[in-house]
Structure 1
Amino acid sequence: KVSVPPGEQWVNFNLNLSIGPNNPYWVLLEPAANIFWGFSREEPVGTQAGSWDKLGNFEDCPYGLKRHRGTYLFRVSPESRPYGPKQVLSGMSRPERTTNLWMSDPEKSFPQWIELKWSRKMEFNTIYLTFDNNLDRPLWGYYGVAPELVRDYRLLVKIDEGWRELVKVEGNYRRRNIVRFETIKTDTLRVEISATNGDRSARVYEIRVYKED
């Protein structure tokens, strides 16, 4: 329990818990008279907001949970960094136990890039990319292309001491991109993103590299 002084402010909850990374957690606040939890229409990847429906009118949600599009306002200490580059190596293309998403700093301008680097040179001719098209938003075919979706990007490989452009894509509107080319040999692949469809961050769920027949 905590005491909440009058007025709009952050309220600190000290958790006497051992909390590890890469696990989902629920925060549940019981109703209290004249206390309101701040709410934002933005919904960071890996978060969900909801309230309990006593009448059970929302049968598609577990345990009578009514989901809200958005997020109740919170902040954590120490700072959480759930969108690091290693997320693209998880093998998952959507949030599960963790975000599984690399996201660039929204305060930095485009282009932004993410690299795969191997300890030895690899041969490959196919790259599978999965971008974020906000699967929580229904009917993108009706509303248009998701702002989070990568629009313009390049694939670059390091050859000797320089960079070679494999492909340049402009106007992308697909979540999954499959790029095929003549077999190359390199130890570094870079995905360079120069624009999204409106969002300030470059977002990539996975980068898969293959040598296909």
Structure 2
Amino acid sequence: MSSTGTDPEQACHELLLRLAGRLPDQTLWRFRDWLGEGALPTLARTMPRALLKHDIDLEQHDHQLLVEALLPHGADRHQVSSTLGIDEVEENRYSFAMTAPDRGNAVDTVGVVVNAVMRGRPEVGEVRETWRESSQAGRPAKRVLLVDAVAGMPRLTGELQRLLRALGDAEPSVEVLPPHIDLPVYHQAALENSRFVCAGAAPAGDRLVPA
């Protein structure tokens, strides 16, 4: 379990990681974009309300992250307290694959650009990608980037999201993983079914090596 009580921005980043696969993609990427811009007061006004709207209850650790991230920036105490509701996070409802089911031998423009931007970056360890598949019929597979990083996680997330949006992904999924964090089931499954994209200059954590 990662430590809490130090940095509201980092607490918020970890909470948003733990909400991946639970909050709608449209909401999650927007919250991460705001965090990357340092807009914690905006998140304090909107995130607790969004959790209640989507009926997402938080277990104790996640709720503590919410408290530490947003109460100092003006979040409504009643809304924050109302999000505490379950003992364990619900099971992951997605499956993951190393390649997109319909890609074939097509050139992966996104992978080429991500490689060019991330390769050799001092705060980046390893970059991997996977394709998330939903149990709901008719929903296409979605690319998920998995990035091992040692610093600047919220801003790195925002940068990669903007890059993916410029390349056509309206609701990008970018999971920038800090050191010393117990990975949720969602990320464990994603990493186990991911492929290598590129490496930065920071040592990669063992967790980015698929089992």
TM-score by length of 2: 0.20
* Bigger share in strand: 1
TM-score by length of 1: 0.20
Name which one, 1 or 2, has greater alpha-carbon Rg.
1
